Amino acid sequence: MSPKRRICGAKSIASIGCPGSANCAPVADLPVTQYARTDDGAHIAYQALGTGPPDIVYANSFMGHIEVSWEYPPAASFYQRMAAFSRLIIFDRRGTGLSDPIVGTFDIEDRSADLRAVIDTLALERPALLGSSEGGMTCTHFAALNPERIAALVLFASTVSTIADEECPWAWTPEFYDAFLDSIQETWADPSGANVVFPNPNLADDPDARAWYARYFRLSASPALARTLIENTVKVDIRHLLPLIAVPTLVLHRTNETWLRVEGSRYIASKIQDAKLVEFPGTGHYIWEQNGADVVDEIEEFLTGVRRQHDPLRSLRTLVFTDIVASTTRASELGDNRWRQLLDRHETLSCRQIDRFGGRFIKSTGDGVLATFESPAQAIRSSLAMREAMRGLDLPIRIGIHTGEVELRGEDVGGIAVHVGARVLESAGSSEILVSRTVTDLVAGSAIEFEDRGERELKGVPGTWRLYAVAG
């Protein structure tokens, strides 16, 4: 199972309404949502971030909610990486998210009208269009009919005809389409429903990510509206427009995706003159899943001619690892349900003490947690409080603390300092808070006292390390 990610006590606007799922994350500077107006008066919600050139307008899949998408770390990371080399504009098409509902029919011309409204409102001069999934149909339609208005077209896991026929046998079969419509009626926005599971089989073992997608879809559209959007989408066939595309085009797809098969992108690339096709490994349908950073690099090179080296962002942090002592034995004694309840209570109490002392919950490690602090003294005080809180649950824990420079990887952390912290934890005894010499040096002069535990070899880490136990 993928490790959980949760922000304890998050107070940023992006986390408002976040249910506390593992993938909810605050964003410090969430772009302001604004509205464009179509010619017939519909309001289209959009956000802009970064600075161009180039300007890139991104049309997402058939469901969308530009504010909720910021709660999901892979999506937020994708937006931020795109905005590092461009001005990125994201928007909700009519009928989804924060835009106006659909009135009457909603055909491909209406979808293009939403895109046009955003371009006109921002007075964009020949932006690049990025479309994924159904959004790729909108971008393709606009690019074919308005070549003078755009500079380039980028399509990710897109399609031009949804239902299979002799020319496009890789598209959805009528039976699959009918089953999908039924699933919308029966299990819309269910973490185990077809609309959540099928597009991203890579998340089969990540219930927290599936729970976020369920919330994302639920806040994007109701079941009836989602069904209407799908029914309108399958009526669209823009194969005849592909030869009319007269701008540089990049076509991207994950080779083993099953929701929209790669043969569709191969077909598109073969019909657009001089189109470049790039395939990535993986099964995830959404652009920000799996190798989303590689996707961004490919787009950046195509639009700017440069693929920059992205050095990892590094920062000094104090790492706190906790672990429940004899967890296997305790789980066997309690049974799965009671043990799961106890783990949930353990994580809630841990989060409370991490937040209380200014720390940041990074993830669950199964039978423990990883948190980071800017102050080693506060890390120790939080650890003492966590140990005391667990006594109320009759749940002994051990804790390892180390300070070092870490790589900031979205909502996660990495680097040698993380490995050292994990190894310090492995050396701790039951109810013991063990720290590295680095930590004791940094809190010298404080009221915190330590007991020398001597030199230790830490598995996989060069040299020997002097460790100390927090006294009291």
pTM over the 0.75 mark: no
pLDDT exceeds cutoff 80 at 311: no
Residues 68-109 have pLDDT tens digits of 999 898 999 899 999 999 999 999 999 999 999 987 778 999
Q: Residue 189: which residues within 8 A CB-CB, separation 6 or more?
A: 195, 196, 214, 215, 217, 218, 223
- Mean pLDDT for all residues in the chain: 89
Band of residue 309 on the pLDDT scale cut at 50, 70, 90 = low
Greatest alpha-carbon span in the chain: 78
How far is 30 from 21, CA to CA, in rounded Å?
A: 19
Residues 124-183 have pLDDT tens digits of 999 999 999 999 999 999 999 999 999 999 999 999 999 999 999 999 999 999 999 988
CA Rg value for the chain? 25
Residues 347-372 have pLDDT tens digits of 999 999 999 999 999 998 888 999 99
Alpha helix segments (H runs only) across 312-360:
327-334, 336-356
Residues 8-29 have pLDDT tens digits of 533 332 333 333 333 344 444 6
pLDDT score recorded for residue 50: 93
Domain boundaries, the chain: 13-304, 313-470
How far is 294 from 202, CA to CA, in rounded Å?
A: 17
How far is 216 from 196, CA to CA, in rounded Å?
A: 10
Phi-psi sector, 118: left (phi>0), alpha (psi -120 to 50), beta = alpha
How far is 388 from 384, CA to CA, in rounded Å?
A: 6
How far is 9 from 15, CA to CA, in rounded Å?
A: 10
Q: Hey, what amino acid is at 353?
A: Q
pLDDT score recorded for residue 260: 95
CATH topology (fold) of 313-470: Alpha-Beta Plaits (3.30.70)
Sheet containing 43-50, strands listed edge to edge, beginning at the edge strand earlier in sequence: 34-37, 43-50, 87-91, 55-59, 128-132, 152-156, 249-254, 276-280
How far is 69 from 76, CA to CA, in rounded Å?
A: 7
Phi, psi of 224 (to 5 degrees): -65, -40
How far is 353 from 433, CA to CA, in rounded Å?
A: 15
Q: Please indicate whether residue 379 or residue 14 has the higher confidence score (pLDDT).
A: 379
Q: Fold identical between 13-304 and 313-470?
A: no
3-state secondary structure of 414: strand
Pick 13-304's CATH classification: 3.50.50.60, 3.40.50.1820, 3.40.350.10, 3.40.366.10. 3.40.50.1820
- State the burial class of residue 400 (Cβ atoms within 10 Å of its Cβ: 0-12, 13-18, 19+): buried
